[in-house]
Structure 1
């Protein structure tokens, strides 16, 4: 949830490289760093500070992901599934 909220705000992400976060964000929405590797985290943050274009892409792509997970859209998809299975 926190990742989606950050993406909705247009925040470039540096996140732990764990499956749950990869399920939400891809390479165009986040920079992944191994948990517990302070050097990798520092490199990830530094790379974003230096790369304005990448930050802009991440902001744009992140907002698109967040929009696809907005509650009204998710609720509509759930209702559609219920309608299909209830016949």
Structure 2
């Protein structure tokens, strides 16, 4: 059961990373066309930096979730 939860967490994180990458790529296309130049110039962040920051935060979240899973003991089956 624990392996299934870990596998689902990994798949979910990859899907979120893919979605975030698509959104950031869209933002980069918009900034190159001039729609969001204010956003790009005020934060001074490239799309790759934002992507790396979000991926690091997701990895931290997954590690915290895995630590919480290991904290709770498994139910012992009687029988």
Q: TM-score, structure 2 length as denominator? A: 0.36
Larger radius of gyration: 2
Q: Answer 1 or 2: which has greater strand percent.
A: 1
Which of the two has greater helix per residue?
2
Q: TM-score normalized by structure 1?
A: 0.34
